[in-house]
Structure 1
């Protein structure tokens, strides 16, 4: 059996894993504190404090971590806009050169950290890009197939187009819910490929649809099996990347979505031109065949081998033991808890679990955030395609070719927002900027009676609506990093609620009979985009409040001499100063 370990994914057990149990649990947003077992590199500080320190939520120090002692006396009001004020200390911020923001090694100061990031980007960053491309390709195929003959072949009239989309969205919502139970208990390298194979099978089935009800049944199942993709991929990404690295990696994920928008139109145009009528099959049917057999099924099989699990339970064939240790050290430094033993997980029917999810501000703040992001997207409404088809004398091939232009520009918009967020450690600026641009686009299209060049401009910048998504998902991952089970349940709950609104709002706002103007749709998108941009400041407030409560775990020892507070006693009793920062004393480390 040992020889197969070189060929098949298996649980990587390091020598230290046999010696100690490093699992722990924490609260969702600092509003409830749950006692946790000390890890083997932590020192308890409660016995060294004569009085409570309100800013210190965590009650343990980590060996080997530099701590910044910070007096908040005279703190300026504009520090509210410093997103990483409490998320990272000065040592963490200054130990990374600006040009190395994609591949820093400032946590372990070792070459192994950069090698780890290179491998992770290839294994999960690039793989999730490919998988998102597959999913986006199939989603966009539906729009391209509609304008390439499917509408007539299946006798689709009035609002059949948008109603079919709504039905498929219901499939995704229904089958997402079981992942509240599955995600913390079963490895992602098994969950995701199995679901993707089901998605590929029903994508293939779409080519043989002979009626609208049959197509709707297939699309429902495609979305149902595709429901695992978003929550599982984000769960995995949030378990490996630091808070100032993850937006850039979610950017890769969204590049796959944009690539689907680009290649779908080009592939549909090429397929329609070369295969339409071959073996008695219409061009739009060939596209579903090619998508499933040549793209989706191979990607699903690859996932079984490249998805690495999480650092504490790694199944990777490609990471060395040293790199797994580096990943775990990075998570300890960044307060990312990626695993809870199964015997310590709460029952899915436990009131205590749901109280932790719904009884805190985090869920409600994030669900509004995510709902706005789902419903501000003119980019995925198909409106540009309808405008090209109805208001111009373009051929079907030309319509499919021109349809890729907004998605091509979308690459630029997404990279600006995602890379800018990590480079400057400031997501909120780019989120607000993207929504301002989307509001401009929607306002032009609401007016509609403008020049053709103004309409082209408005349509070409529609992908600013999705450009903020990497930052949004990075925020959610960072909010939920402290408890893997709460992370899984909350992710699914937020995503299911948000997507459920996307199942019915478009049926009211984007009625197919209103094409190509869609005045109601653009107005709804404008409203959601404006709320999205404004709500970013609400999220920033709760995010910073949460990080201030967890500042000690982020390497920051807070006190405020304006309030009569002094540096905590444990600074003198348990720590020693080296340069500008404090570390756990060697004598304390030997007792761990």
Structure 2
């Protein structure tokens, strides 16, 4: 039995005994925390739409486009706060940042049930956007700080999958709450939604206070012994750049990583807009499918998203390279969009296209992992680029559906399908360019962490290699002095 368990552990966490001990502990503390928070994020956001159609609109007197203003206020503040949030993680211990943000977000959700005016909910949503901005990009930054290139993709995929599950389950959870809690305690069901969701979030935030290990350099994880704390640092090597100084903005703005990774992520987000905005539901309604079918069949998109995200992440980790699976994703963009552009004569063609395109949600894990791979040499570049990827994305996806997937075009979104074909096809040359630049800079010794033989201070190490100039993505038997913040 013990030999079977050992073989299973080696299969999951690798042959190195120290790696196995470290990864096993991270995978039951760090990874579950971020995954649960992202799951609850999906549930929380879906609670507003459920509450709105379940009595909040009438109770608070929403008029005209005030519901749209609520969503817009949230998204704008959410997008603006992402780069400052990830940058803050390099200055303040992440445990304090995440737990404060989680608790504030939960409290804001809770007090929503006490609001009496629509403008009050709009204001609360704007504030909540600022505190929830760290949930997605911050998680990617922390995961990239602990896991190697051969380990990161699958962990990022697990994290993203929980978001898909939260989106899928959110409607079911709200429906259950509406059915079971209506008028309990003298409160309407829509108020109970906010109470329950906030109560669900608080224990997870407290779990984070206990188990968030901060960054490896903090050596703060109580569940790791001193040997594993040092191993967590040594196996990754040291960043070449790791201080906030006058070179930061030049380093960031003149880097290809800061521009190209967010750009292809933006193209991906625009391409998959046909999977959102109720496009599939509108098409099904035009074909005479029942309301239940219109609600249930589109959830299959998230099922294929989960499969695709896990599959592509595992392959990219095994290859320790992201460009091969990225090409496959780009080709899937083209094939799925082309099917929709062709206006299939049978319903099966549409179902194949929608479900096939669901697998292309994989860049949420693969491309954030790729970004971490090519920015690992510079802490500030990685933090700022992590936040910018989502902010740049939001700068386009907030208006793109209004132009290409307007509800007034339903059920014929042919113009949107063409736009998705174009944006999906554009990812391919840029994937090739990023792959070329990564290969060039690794050969030059510009990107990748540095192995060094003995402790040195930050001033001596900043901006230069050790004597060998070796860049590492595999365990090295060296002593690291990665920056402490």
TM range (shorter): 0.7 to 0.9
1 or 2 for the larger relative contact order (CA 8 Å, sep ≥6)?
Answer: 1
Change (3 A) 1:394 1:278: farther
How many angstroms apart in 2 are the aligned matches of 1:405 and 1:452? 15
Q: 1 CA distance for matches of 2:74 and 2:303? A: 26
Match of 2:77 among 171, 174, 177: 171
Counterparts of 1:485-500 in structure 2 under 5 Å? 485-500=380-395
In terms of Rg, which structure is larger?
A: 1
Size of the aligned set, in residue pairs, is 449
Contact 1:102–1:245 under 8 Å retained in 2: no
Give the aligned partner of residue 311 of structure 1: 216
- Aligned-pair CA distance for 1:435: 3.1
Aligned partner (choices 345, 349, 364) of residue 244 of structure 2: 345
Q: Aligned pair in 2 of structure 1 residues 368, 181: CA closer, same or farther (>3 Å)? A: closer
Cα distance between partner residues in 2 of 1:150 and 1:508: 29
**Counterparts in 2 of 1:278-293, with a 5 A limit?**
278=184, 283-293=189-199
How big is the shift at 1:516? Answer: 4.5
1:257 aligned residue? 163
Match of residue 226, structure 2, among 321, 331, 344: 321
Match of 1:234 in 2: 140
User: Using the alignment, how far apart are the partners of 1:445 and 1:160 within structure 2?
Assistant: 33
Q: Does 1:125 align with 2:31?
A: yes
| In 1, Cα distance between equivalents of 2:27 and 2:9 | 17
CA deviation after TM superposition for structure 1 residue 535, in Å: 1.7
Q: In the aligned structure 2, how far is the partner of 1:574 from the partner of 1:356?
A: 24
Deviation at 1:510, TM superposition (A): 3.2
2:322 is aligned, of 405, 411, 427, to: 427
Deviation at 1:323, TM superposition (A): 0.9
Structure 1 residue 448, shift from structure 2 partner: 4.9
Asked whether the 8 Å contact 1:144–1:264 carries over to 2, the reply is no
Cα distance change, pair 125–553 in 1 and its aligned pair in 2 (3 A): closer
Q: Residue 43 of structure 2 is aligned with which of 137, 143, 152?
A: 137
Distance 2:67 2:410 in 1: 11
Q: Is the 8 A contact 1:251 1:415 kept in 2?
A: yes
- Residue 481 of structure 1 corresponds to 376
How far does residue 553 in structure 1 lie from its aligned partner after superposition? 6.9
2:296 corresponds to 1:411? no
2:398 is paired with a residue whose SS is helix
CA contact (8 A) 1:509 1:524 kept: yes
8 Å CA contact 1:414–1:464 kept in 2: the answer is: yes
- In 2: Cα distance, 1:129 partner to 1:552 partner: 29
CA distance change for structure 1 residues 163 and 445 in 2, over 3 Å: closer, same or farther?
farther
| 8 A contact 1:438–1:465 mirrored in 2 | yes
C-alpha root-mean-square deviation of aligned residues, in Å? 3.5
Q: Give the alignment partner of residue 402 of structure 2, picking from 489, 499, 507.
A: 507
SS at match of 1:245: helix
Paired with 1:233 and 1:411, the residues of 2 have a C-alpha distance of 18
Q: Is the 8 A contact 1:201 1:292 kept in 2?
A: yes
Look up the match of 1:192.
98
TM-score, length basis structure 1: 0.67
SS in 2 for 1:231: helix
Higher normalized helix content (fraction of residues)? 2
